[in-house]
Amino acid sequence: MHQQANHEMNDEFAAGPVYEGNTDIMTMDINEASRYLFGQVNWQEYIRAGVFLSQNEYQLLERTQDNIDFAMSNASTSKAFANILMRLADKCTSNTPTQQFVFTKIEQILGVDNVAVNVKHRAPLFTFDGTNLQDGPFLRAIRSNDFYTKRAASVGLATLLTVCDGEVNSLISWICEQLSSPMDNAAEVAIPALTILLRRESARQMYADRHGINILVQILAKLGPNGNGQQIYDICFCLWTLSLGNNADLASFLASGSIRYMVDLLAAAPSRKVVRMVASTLRNLSTLENEDVLTEMLTGPLQKLLEHMLAANAHKQAGDPELEQDVRSLYDTLMKNFRDLSTYDRWVSEVHTGALRWGIVHTEKFWRENAKFVENNDFKLLKMLIALLRSEDETIVCIALYDLGEFTRFYPNGRGVVKSLGGKDLAMDMIASLNGEIQRQALQCVSKIMVTNWEFMK
């Protein structure tokens, strides 16, 4: 009841001064933003209310505007300072400038922009017992309607969760929601927190389990090589952290088409730091020597691209020995596992990874020569191809429809096989697609399934 009363009292005066928006704050460094936001809060209202803030506490906040190290100088002062911030974060939820100021200040304390700060030493200030995080105010703030508050609170929470126990799952759920949202800037608000949170090893698997790799690759595909450079780098950094260790989720890396997109980025070379991050990620994946991963790498232009990079000596000219080591290690691994891939091997690789792309393995000639091989292992590959009709990638759906129709044409009793596996029904559903190309491919596929002499119909 007391907490409810506090919130009601807060609502009576929390509006504070008229706030013009946070466009300018996003361009400020953290110290500048802190000083600006301090001036936007109606502190005297809080002091007069006598509930959230005393005069002495206000003076402590004021003194830290020019020197936050003052508040961190001893254990009692630093704990008192953190308690003030957490109380304001918890009680003054309807005042946007206050929330913005509080979480900016927490970022300062944790040294988000200051590598000299030891997070482990300061994180206990925001816990109940030195270990378990007081994360309620953060979790409420990331659900606010204010972009800046969400970004600052999520970054602060992610930083704390790298060294403290808390609601990692809740933050990951929010990040996935933001990254999957069609709203403008939704991904932009969540990616900074994700780059920090994935430094926690246990968080990587939790994120991957929520189809996180696929979500990142979809954003990467939308951005393209010429998209926002910082976002591309941040996403590549996230993929790199997810590629670390022997437990990397290779199935997700393959199914999402991540390798193809990273090779495209390596070829486009939008910036040196992106090239370095992509090369390191591909190297990590290759060292696990998974057959499907290596086949996917050998199927595309990666081998020739690496040969060109090594011949050009660009990494040596740039004085980048780490990039040189990654490129050479990746190339050596591919050469050690090199084999001439038949066109059928390439088709198998695409189906296994789910990364279908138009080319010589999706032609009439290919299916005339290879349809008979698809019967192996009780039509396992055909079942996987049919499953790809449910892909969210429209190009993959189109190619799967084409392949299904061609299999039907060239495999004896292909029509009966496809019908028995549910391929016909799924293809018929696609005829109602709003996408014109999917609709066209679905009509052709269904026609091939239902018509005996397709050549005559053509």
* Model pLDDT for residues 385-403, shown as the tens digit of each residue: 999 999 988 889 999 999 9
At 46 the three-state DSSP class reads helix
pLDDT in tens, 92-148: 888 999 999 999 999 999 987 776 678 888 999 999 887 789 999 999 999 999 999
The residues that bridge with 268 in the sheet, in sequence order, are none
* pLDDT at site 72: 86
Whole-structure pTM value: 0.77
Residue in the structure block whose two tokens are 């808390």: 166
User: Distance between CA atoms of 214 and 197, rounded to whole angstroms?
Assistant: 18
CA angle, residues 215, 221, 222, in degrees to nearest 5: 95
pLDDT value for 184: 77
Measuring CA to CA, how many Å separate 404 from each of 154, 377, 393, 401, 427?
45, 17, 17, 5, 9
